[in-house]
Amino acid sequence: MSLAVLIAIDVAAILVLTFGLYWPRHKRKNMVVAYLTANIGVAAVASVLASSSINAGLGLGLFGILSIIRLRSDELDHTDIAYYFGALALGLFAGLGGSLSWATPVMTVAILGALYIGDHPDLFPRYRNQIVNLDSAYTDETALVMRLETLLNAKVHRVTVRKVDLVNDTTSVDVRYELPRVDTDWQSGKASIPASGDSR
């Protein structure tokens, strides 16, 4: 497969990833620039490495170091990191795709499909994860879960205590929870939220 075809596939793929998947769902402009630049840069350098005597492992190691620096320079959640590595992988497929033949477009579609499904807003839409700082020190996990469920109006599935400060009377927890189902009355156009004890 020629380099021109591979580059065309990569450009189409990164445009789909950035403007078809990421931007409509997350609206973070600075990451759009990062994804486009990282993808094109990786594709360009990888194509040079593939056609020269430079060790490809050295080039991939440099990409890894640059990726770590980039990811540590800003606060990114796991979703942003997934898109970031997807952009890097697409660039590598384009730059090194001459040796991968028809596996390149197949893997390109697989990456885009994984991002489309894994980050789809309809996939587990009621599940959340966040850090919560409470104004009381909790050493009883049952009491802690009850407080969180009342505070969040949600079903708590898992709680990881990050810090209990008995001096300042605070607790920091990483909580994973499920929001209650919202039932819509189509005739009145109003939405109702069942009580937290509703088992539906």
Answer whether 37's CB lies under 8 Å from 89's CB: no
Beta strands (DSSP E) in the chain are 127-134, 155-165, 170-178, 183-185, 190-192
Domain range annotation of the chain: 3-118, 127-192
Residue 101, Cβ neighbours under 10 Å: how many?
10
3-class secondary-structure state, position 123: coil
Comparing 111 with 64, which gets the higher pLDDT? 111
Residue scoring higher pLDDT (118 or 68) = 118
Q: What is the pLDDT of residues 7-57, one digit of tens each?
A: 888 999 999 999 999 999 999 888 899 899 989 988 887 777 776 655 556
Q: Which run of H or E residues covers position 130?
A: strand 127-134
* Residues 86-104 pLDDT 10s: 998 898 888 776 655 677 8
For residue range 112-158, list pLDDT tens digits in order: 999 999 999 898 989 999 999 999 999 999 999 999 999 999 999 99
Supply the pLDDT for residue 184. Answer: 45
CA 141 to chain centre: 30
